[in-house]
Amino acid sequence: MQLVEHKRNPACGAYESLQFVQNSGNNFLKIKDVKVKMSNQYDFDKVISRKDTDCAKWGVADGLFGEKDILPMWVADMDFPIAKEITAAIKKRADHEIYGYAVPGSSAFEAVVTRMKKKYRWEVKPEWIVFTPGIVPALYVAVKAFTHPGDEVVIQSPVYRPFWSAVKDNGCQVVNNQLKLIDDRYEIDFKDFENIFQFSRNPGLVPVSSRAKMMILCSPHNPVGRVWNADELSKMGEIVTRNNGIIVSDEIHAEICFKGSKHIPFASISTEFEQRSITCVSPSKSFNLAGLGASAVIIPDSELRKNFNRAKTGIVPMVNCFGLSALEAAYNHGDAWLQECLEYLHGNLNFIMKFCEKQIPKIRIIKPEGTYLVWLDCRDLGMDKMSLRELMRKKARLGLEDGFTFGPGGEGFQRMNIACSRSMLEEAMTRLEAAVNSIDSS
């Protein structure tokens, strides 16, 4: 009997098939030197124009950044075509030619349940799942559902901008547990975290922060790229639950983790955390489906779920039929593509890290553990925030996100989306180097 095992060769990125043969002692022996090379299924180097596709990233870049020929590396989607299994599912749905109101069927619930179990051994019940056409609407609904105007909601800056707006637009106040940058790695300030929630228990003692009952956690974190570990999640969960709060955990970037980092859903840590959690998941970032708006909010506690559903009524529409087909196909059949995509992204990350180290040492990369959004520390350039913005836009002609827009702690940083072809990334880094050299020589 022969066995074949497919292994990825990290050196060339291709698959190798190792063949084994069973001997008389029922052991499998590797057949020496028999290696069959299989090529990658996807070509992430291929540059595909997104012009005239109603594409936000490319379509509005020149206007948004105020220059011609901007390389857009801002909004978080990828310039790569998606897994062929997902395309096939969307085409199959399109062939039906009736696109009326949609409602998720049992297979959509099952796809989320199976994904959580397979990736994280988290046992989710189908009835805990609420589908939404995106995670930002889910964040807004969560704030509306679980707070009263004037309440305080905890976030950790620098952080994804809608975290700020979801709180403020619902008439609540942000309490910022600002992350600390220690030796090129972001850490949670637990002393401050504890104070924020403890004060809420003792309003008589410290009146400034008396109503924090909810936190919006970014896990993995956009833009600093941390994948929170079990210790950090447990510590946060313990403090929040002890103080009777809830955690809305935005886990949209969960499946983009680099080697050595593993995403852990906050709710999967304990039953107690589960009951105090609202977990937002979606294939939109990891499988490049953001434009289809399909996400799932997992709310184990029935009372919280009831409130969430009530708050979204009349405001948040159902996911459309193509989004549902794509979500199912991604979760059920997208893993081969995702694996290749992660390897390509890892290559991109290594490329820019080496480039900066050698060619632009004044820009340091905060190495992300997850997400394809890279946080560039430009503070050594010694520029104020508007001069730095000008440098990126006018001199480098790069469409990056200004760090200061993510809140305190973001000043002097820029966020770069590296989910693009290597050739585009090379062009971007060359432009960046020339722009930085131009200030050095002026």
Ligand X SMILES: Cc1ncc(COP(=O)(O)O)c(C=O)c1O
Q: Which residue is nearest to ligand X (CB)?
A: 134
Binding site residues, ligand X, CB under 6 A: 76, 134-136, 160, 218, 222, 250, 252, 282, 284, 290, 295
- The minimum distance between CB 169 and ligand X, in angstroms, equals 14
Q: Which is nearer to ligand X, 111 or 436 (CB)?
A: 111
Q: Which is nearer to ligand X, 134 or 412 (CB)?
A: 134
Contact predicate 366/349, CB 8 Å: no
Q: Smaller CB distance to ligand X: residue 160 or 322?
A: 160
CB of 99 to ligand X, least distance (A): 21
335-359 and 84-96 are packed helices; what angle lies between their axes, rounded to 10 degrees?
Answer: 130
**DSSP reduced 3-state for 438:** helix
- 221 vs 391, which CB is nearer to ligand X? 221
Distance of closest approach, residue 53 Cβ to ligand X, in angstroms: 17
DSSP string, 324-367: HHHHHHHHHH-HHHHHHHHHHHHHHHHHHHHHHHHH-TTSEEE-
- Residue 105 to residues 89, 310, 324, 330, 395: CA-CA distances in angstroms? 15, 21, 9, 16, 51
CB of 246 to ligand X, least distance (A): 18
Please name which of 86, 88, 110 lies closest in space to residue 287, comparing C-alpha atoms. 86
Nearer to ligand X by Cβ, of 136 and 236: the residue is 136
Distances (CA, A) of 64 to 60, 136, 326, 400, 425: 6, 21, 30, 11, 20
Choice between 159 and 425, CB closer to ligand X: 159
Q: List the structure tokens of 270.
A: 């304990």
Strand, helix or coil for residue 96: helix
- Closest contact distance (angstroms) between CB of 214 and ligand X is 16
